[in-house]
Amino acid sequence: MTKAVRRLAPIPLLLMLAYAALVAGTPRLSASQVYAGLFGPGADWLSTLVTQFRLPRLCAALVVGIGLGAAGALLQNLTRNRLASPDVLGINDGALLALALSLMLNPTGLLGPWWCAVAGALITAVFTLLAAGGVGTRGYRVLVVGLGIASLLRAGFDIALATLPIFHATGLYAFSVGSLAGRAWPVVTVAAALLGILLTACWVISRALALLCLHDDSIRGLGVNLGQLRFTVLMLAAALAGVTVGVGGPIGFVALAAPMLAQRLSPDGGIPVWCSASIGAVLVTGADLLGRIAAAPVEVPVGVVSGFLGGPFLLWLLVRPKACGAG
Amino acid sequence: MLEFRVDQVIAGYGAEPVLRDLSLQIPAGRVTAIVGANGCGKSTLLRCLARLHQADSGCIQLGEDDLRLFSTADLARSVGFLPQFPQAPVGLRVNDLLALARHPHRHWMASWSAEDEAARCEALRLTDLTELAGQPLDKLSGGQRQRAWIAMMLTQSTPVLLLDEPGSMLDPGHQLELIALLRALADAGRTVIVVMHDLVAARHADWLVALDNGRLAACGSPVDVLNPVLLRQLYGIDSYILTAPDGTPVVVPVRQADLPLPQALPLPVSMASVGSSAEASASVAGRRLVLLFAVLQFTLLLDYMVLMPLGAALMRDFDIGPARFGSLVGVYTLASALTSLVGGRWIDRGDRKRTLLALYAGFVVATLACGFAGQFGELLVARALAGACAGLMNATMMAMIADRIEPERRGQAIGTIMSAFGVCAVIGVPSGLGLAALGGWRIPFLAVAALSALWWLRLYRALPRSPVRVGAGRGSLRSPALALGWVLSFCIVFAGFLIVPYLGAHLNGTLGVDLRDLSWIYLCAGLATFAVARGIGRAVDRFGAAGVLAVLMVASIIPHLWLTQLQPGPLWQTTLVFVLFMALTSTRSIPALVWLIGRVPPPLRGRYMAVNTASTEAASGLAAWYAGLMTGGDGAVLQHFERVGWLAAGVTCVSLCLLAGLHRFGASKGASTTTTDCLTPVARAES
């Protein structure tokens, strides 16, 4: 019972942050104004501000956060390594590169179709898996190969950025920092639907996922096709990360931190995917909110905020004395 | 009832097969032990039976069917497998581990059924773990954990159980329990196959499969199979086979007579004595501590010293005059002195490491704030904070040195830490100025902050905890002998700082030294200080702190007078006198600190050194102010600088008398001083 309560702990925090995200900013709204903006009757500007700007942005933050949290948890369960995350595996860079390439081929929109990011992420994941020749017993191999591929793809992205016309390059660069500014309903709704499908798939494999913490022979002995399971998990994580890159650009550290925090909340066994997803949503919503209000009227991109907060977190994690570490 | 039939199996991991053409039968409903030497293929055979390893050729039958024809789920419902070193995440509870084993029996949407619960309860009952079901696996003992893994396999409810050396981590009692459990499971109709090293346990099996280098050496009941010829073939040992009262064979292995005895070399002499090695490790720990502190001191000094050469840039940027710039230095010193006086009260509580880290964190923040300061007021506050932290840190550092380093090594330790001053002058400040030339005055502060932050992490990991000992030695600081110690360090610093702040003006204005040469002269002085500091430290350890201090004071009177009365002359002469002055004056603090701290009982050290810091800060401030009054202080040319030199020499003589008096006073009650200083065993015990 307490376990369930602890895993649900991020939810009230998330609700508070969501409310704050609707209220805060310029102009600052009251609760009744938000209500009027959402459900009417209210002034036109109020309704536009709430339903066309703040609400889609909040939803984008939620989609990105849930996606990153879930992807991080999947990858850390898969590799049994606390440092695994989409950025380390090169999935984020692959998604970015795909966006840049789509712009080079078809220079009409400002950023190119966002689903290219999903495709890029999936292709990168398959490529990494092929190059590493499997996930490997302890996941080290795929991590090391992923690191190499990540820097390769990043270099490719930089080259693409240099060859693009300047207005595309500027937009893409701002995007590559990780930003939720100006995300509108068309992108958010499709991304949310895709996220729903992916999360359903996560739910279907969730029981097999819990087995991934055991010895390889134990897992196989329990009648699981290990190779197939690992491939599925990796693809799911890549697709989730791709969706988040498509919506908000590569936002670092959330996918790394959320699973670890989730494990601290329920320190009995593997990394809980749902808890991690909700913590990811809290982190991204909070970071976006902070970026919006901290240096107003200038907006700090959410990727910068998460990096700023995530760096010290990573350091703390690395230098923390071993005694209280969780394996 | 499922029995295994292995037919002409060849299996391996590379070109060389591990199992070579193996054919055997394993009966159903029995306990079968697979034995053999290391690397003979026992585990590979077991993995083949569990279909975790694919045979290259040949066929394995389970019951009526070929093993390959089973679906994954069917096989998982028929055969359970326990690896030799199973793994589980930290914190996983026994209950949850067992629940995982029901995977093959559950549809992907099925919830936990009554059947699942029954299987789990039965497994817990059989392994006697019912009371521990809610415990995390990593909190269990080795034997309990092994039972939990067996319970997990039982929860899987399979008619065939394969175990890879389940008893290797268990004591004899738990091994017997395990064998009894396996026996009971076999009697209840399960087929149990165990890989075993232990021949004593193997006698309890119903059926023995002996492998030799991938081939079958023997197969049958232990009574029939176990004989000295087989054991010699398997393990290369001689043996007696006895018969236990219960009729089972007991193997007593004997070393082969014709094998040469291994020869071990005696330990080298230096390692033979435990005492000296403990001493060596204590000194290594001490040296590491000193190095940690030397770098820490370097960052503190760098922050303090880099400010002055940045004066011009700061005055321009903030549009302030020299006086207000001077207040930046003053506020640092003032804050340092004040917090030392006030904060000394708390410094001897809790863990010194925690105190030091907290203060250092404050220092990092303050330096960072200096780098980002937008207005002069902000800069002033940041400097005050930096000074406040730095003052108390010095006291804490000295207290930790005294707590953890034996008196006979303290001189060297403090000498090394003080040599940071020289390094700072030689490397730190010029590179800081270089950075400032590249990107403005903020860069040096940010660089110091970054360096300090890195070093904070290093300290966080490497610094040993050092709880302050509270106990018998607790006393009051009000004793006149201790208080006069503060007066002594006040006098020493006062004498030095009468002259030091005005040296630039003296050299440049009176002696006509070019500004470019001046920086070279300072560099030489820094180098000399660095070299001399460590030598003085060694001398202190060798000849005693009081003696070295007295010699240094007498010696420093000469350059005090010489330098202040120096007339314009060749550059080498000026340099020589200046270097002599700096080397002798700044290193006086080494024997002074060693001597002072040796007199203070351990629980009071932090407080004592904090007040000492306050007194030296006050001395430096007062001396600079008073010398300014004496010299007329219009900056360009100093008036009557020789008078300052005479005053400094006089103060030094006073402190010499003070030292002599205190030393005699200390010697008269010497017994008590030495007993309060009983840190050596503590330092050892803590390290």
Q: Which residue has the higher pLDDT, B193 or A178?
A: B193
Instruction: Find, among A18, A79, A63, A111, the residue nearest to A241 by Cα.
Output: A63
* Contact: A223, B77; criterion CB under 8 Å: yes
* Contact: B92, A221; criterion CB under 8 Å: no
User: What is the rounded average pLDDT for all residues in chain B?
Assistant: 81
Residue A324 confidence class, pLDDT cut points 50, 70, 90: very low
Report the C-alpha gap between B506 and B518 in whole angstroms: 11
Residue B271 above 60 pLDDT?
no
Q: Is A109 left (phi over 0), alpha (psi -120 to 50) or beta?
A: beta
Q: How far is CA B159 from CA B156, B185, B186, B449, in A?
A: 9, 9, 9, 66
* Contact: B460, A213; criterion CB under 8 Å: no
Supply B348's token pair: 């001897």
Q: Please tell me the predicted confidence (pLDDT) of residue B272.
A: 46
Cβ burial of B365 (10 Å; 0-12, 13-18, 19+) is middle
Q: Judge whether B463 is closer than 8 Å to chain A, CB to CB.
A: no
Residue B505 confidence class, pLDDT cut points 50, 70, 90: confident
Report the residue from A225, A268, A326 with minimal CB separation from B96.
A268
Residue A177 above 50 pLDDT?
yes
Q: Please tell me the predicted confidence (pLDDT) of residue A201.
A: 92
Report the C-alpha gap between A71 and A241 in whole angstroms: 6
Residue B274 above 80 pLDDT?
no
Is ipTM > 0.85 here? no
Residue A236 confidence class, pLDDT cut points 50, 70, 90: very high
List chain A residues with CB under 8 Å of B89.
213, 269-270, 326-327
Residue A132 above 90 pLDDT?
no
* Contact: B91, A267; criterion CB under 8 Å: yes
pTM: 0.60
Percent of chain B exceeding pLDDT 70 equals: 91
Q: Please tell me the predicted confidence (pLDDT) of residue A284.
A: 92
Q: Please tell me the predicted confidence (pLDDT) of residue B279.
A: 60
Instruction: Find, among B582, B587, B297, the residue nearest to B428 by Cα.
Output: B297
Residue B218: its H or E element? strand B215-220
Q: Please tell me the predicted confidence (pLDDT) of residue B675.
A: 37
Q: Closest residue of B to A222, CA-based? A: B76
Calculate Rg over the CA atoms of chain A.
20
Q: How far is CA B63 from CA B3, B50, B81, B186, B687, in A?
A: 5, 14, 17, 16, 63
Residue B248 above 60 pLDDT?
yes
| Biggest CA-to-CA distance, chain A | 64
For residues B666-683, one letter each, b for 16 or more C-beta atoms within 10 angstroms of the residue's C-beta and e for the rest, the string is beeeeeebeebbebeeeb
Q: Is the dihedral of CA B644, B649, B653, B658 positive or negative?
A: positive
Q: Contact at 8 Å (CB) between A303 and A289?
A: no
Report the C-alpha gap between A100 and B628 in whole angstroms: 68
**H-type alpha helices, B424-479:** 429-439, 442-462
List chain A residues with CB under 8 Å of B108.
204, 207
Q: Which residue has the higher pLDDT, B407 or B393?
A: B393
With a CB cutoff of 8 Å and minimum separation 6, the contacts of A131 are A145, A149
Mutate to test the interface with B, among A1, A217, A266 (most CBs of B within 10 A): A217
CB contacts under 8 A, B 60-99 vs A, are 72-77, 79-83, 85-93, 96
Q: Class for domain A60-317, per CATH?
A: mainly alpha
Residue B322 above 80 pLDDT?
no
- Angle value at C-alpha B539, between B484 and B685, nearest 5 degrees: 75
CA–CA min distance A230, chain B (Å) = 16
- Boundaries of every domain in chain A: 60-317
Q: Please tell me the predicted confidence (pLDDT) of residue A198.
A: 93
Residue B326 above 50 pLDDT?
yes
Side chain identity at A52, as an amino acid letter? Answer: Q
Mutate to test the interface with A, among B48, B79, B84, B100 (most CBs of A within 10 A): B100
With a CB cutoff of 8 Å and minimum separation 6, the contacts of B177 are none
Residue B611 above 80 pLDDT?
yes
Task: Name which of B141-155, B359-373, B441-455, B622-636 the model is least confident about.
Answer: B622-636
Q: Contact at 8 Å (CB) between A248 and A306?
A: no
List chain A residues with CB under 8 Å of B460.
319
Backbone angles phi, psi at B50, to 5 degrees: -85, 0
Task: Name which of A179-188, A285-294, B79-88 the model is least confident about.
Answer: A179-188
Residue A320 confidence class, pLDDT cut points 50, 70, 90: low
Q: Please tell me the predicted confidence (pLDDT) of residue B72.
A: 84
Cβ burial of A264 (10 Å; 0-12, 13-18, 19+) is exposed
Residue A107 confidence class, pLDDT cut points 50, 70, 90: low
Average pLDDT over residues B364-379: 87
Mutate to test the interface with A, among B92, B112, B154, B455 (most CBs of A within 10 A): B92
List chain A residues with CB under 8 Å of B457.
315, 319
Q: Please tell me the predicted confidence (pLDDT) of residue B275.
A: 47
Report the C-alpha gap between B192 and B182 in whole angstroms: 7
Task: State pLDDT tens for residues B351-369.
Answer: 888 888 999 999 999 998 8
Average pLDDT over residues A101-106: 79
Domains in chain B: ranges and CATH: 4-89+158-254 (3.40.50.300), 279-686 (1.20.1250.20)
Q: Closest residue of B to A206, CA-based? A: B108
Report the C-alpha gap between A315 and A320 in whole angstroms: 8
Report the C-alpha gap between B518 and B522 in whole angstroms: 6
Side chain identity at B114, as an amino acid letter? Answer: A
Residue B669 confidence class, pLDDT cut points 50, 70, 90: very low
Q: Which string of DSSP letters, residue by residue, matches B144-200?
A: HHHHHHHHHHHHT--SEEEEESTTTTS-HHHHHHHHHHHHHHHHTT-EEEEE-S-HH
Report the C-alpha gap between B596 and A65 in whole angstroms: 59
Cis peptide before B166 (omega within 30 of 0): no
Task: State pLDDT tens for residues A17-49.
Answer: 888 888 887 777 877 887 777 777 777 788 888
Q: Which string of DSSP letters, residue by residue, matches B595-639?
A: HHHHTS-GGGHHHHHHHHHHHHHHHHHHHHHHHHHHT---SSS-S
Residue B578 above 60 pLDDT?
yes
DSSP state of B588: T
Task: State pLDDT tens for residues B518-547.
Answer: 778 888 888 888 888 888 888 888 888 888
Mutate to test the interface with B, among A200, A205, A207 (most CBs of B within 10 A): A207
Supply A26's token pair: 């310029």
Report the C-alpha gap between B401 and B293 in whole angstroms: 9
Task: State pLDDT tens for residues B548-571.
Answer: 888 988 888 888 888 888 888 888
* Contact: B79, A207; criterion CB under 8 Å: no
| Biggest CA-to-CA distance, chain B | 114
Q: Please tell me the predicted confidence (pLDDT) of residue B165.
A: 86
Q: Which string of DSSP letters, residue by residue, matches A160-200?
A: HHHHS-HHHHHHHHHHHH---TT--HHHHHHHHHHHHHHHH
Interface contacts A/B by beta carbons within 8 Å: 81
Q: Please tell me the predicted confidence (pLDDT) of residue A278.
A: 92
Residue B216: its H or E element? strand B215-220
User: What is the rounded average pLDDT for all residues in chain A?
Assistant: 83
* Contact: B103, A326; criterion CB under 8 Å: no
Tell me if residue B299 falls in helix, strand or coil.
helix
